[in-house]
Amino acid sequence: MVKWMPDWLKKNYNNLWKKYGKEVFTTENVVDSLNISNNMATKTLWQLENNGFVYKTRSELDYRNKIFRLISPEDVSYVIGLYSLMDKEEYRRMTLEDKLIFLNEKIPYALTGSKAAYWYHRYVNPPNVYEIKIRSEDEGKWIAFLTDGHTRVYLNEILETKSTIYYIKLIHSTKEFDDIIQKSDSGYYIEKIEFLLIELLMRETQTSIIEVVAMIIQNSKDINWFGEKGVIKLAVESSFIRELGFILDAINYESDSPIIKEEIISTIESKVKGKSNILFPKDAVLLNRYTELKNKITHQSLITEREMINCKKIQIRFEGYSELSDKWGLQSVLPREVIRKILTDLGVS
């Protein structure tokens, strides 16, 4: 067995569960509730956290303050049972991917985000963050199962600076897993490309747009565009049909020969109604640069003639898709060189 609690830790865990259940508490609460020293309270929480039997987060009011929430006894027992099926030496050699393969269908999940996107496009290397979609009722099981000395699990943004091998962000899925998962060649489950495309498109960061474009270029003939589980229907349901049409049109606009069939683009265009004043993508860096640029151009008297000429050149970069922006009824701030570079790097012209 590779996950367990010594008697002293089990006693402290049980007493804390009786007191707090699924409610949050602090180190000071542990000292008072268990009538132990601060050092012993810290040791108790450290042992529980390293085994994944308590989830630690930070106070929204004061980031320095740590807040804890116990994983339920049922979830702890379930995970200890899973680990009892593993050989201790085998466990020590396991990577995160090995753990996911070991789970198979015991707890439904889908690897999503940049790690899943890389499996489809093999273009830009993903960051060292594994995003995993789970059922909300399985949250405690996942925290207990994945957390160890090399792995930290988060439910919100990853803000910790403690060095570790694996950073994992758990995301509650709003869709049925039978609809969104497929098994990768390696044996773990990833999100289907149709659902992942919309997931990343909706994030509207420059990185996510790059991943979306690369995935489409590499898989355009294999993607299910139509039907109930097709990309177009998912984009309509997510209110991102306008943005999807723009991206597909931009890919064709930059390539020598169409990558996306006209039937797909015309179908999307038929579902877009009216105009919109939205900026796309809402990447913080791009928007800040664009806003700063517009302010300089608006207040011409505050800058030199040479600075104005330079601003006009940069404006052309940001507004290079003016025709497509008008067609799709949005304001694009995506520089044309972003998609051009992806096409060049992937050997597509």
Q: Nearest CA to 254 among 348, 145, 132, 141?
A: 348
Predicted confidence (pLDDT) per residue in 36-93, tens digit: 999 999 999 999 999 999 999 877 766 678 899 999 999 999 999 999 888 878 888 8
| pLDDT mean over 127-152 | 94
Alpha carbon distance 333, 349 (integer Å):
23
Q: Which residue has the tokens 């949005």?
A: 330
Determine whether domain 1-72 maps to CATH 1.10.10.10: yes
| pLDDT mean over 19-38 | 95
In this prediction, what percent of the chain has a pLDDT beyond 70? Answer: 97
pLDDT score for 218: 96
Q: Where are the beta strands (DSSP E) in 43-177?
A: 54-58, 66-70, 109-112, 129-134, 151-154, 166-172
Does an H or E element contain 114, and which? helix 113-121
| pLDDT mean over 297-301 | 76
The pair of three-digit structure tokens given for residue 141, joined into one six-digit string: 């099981």
Better-scored residue on pLDDT, 274 or 118: 118
Predicted confidence (pLDDT) per residue in 212-238, tens digit: 999 999 999 999 999 999 999 999 999
Alpha carbon distance 195, 175 (integer Å):
10
Predicted confidence (pLDDT) per residue in 305-344, tens digit: 787 778 788 788 888 899 999 999 999 999 999 999 999 9
- CATH 1.10.10.10 domain position(s) in the chain: 1-72
Whether the predicted pLDDT of 3 surpasses 90:
no
Whether the predicted pLDDT of 113 surpasses 90:
yes
pTM given for the model? 0.90
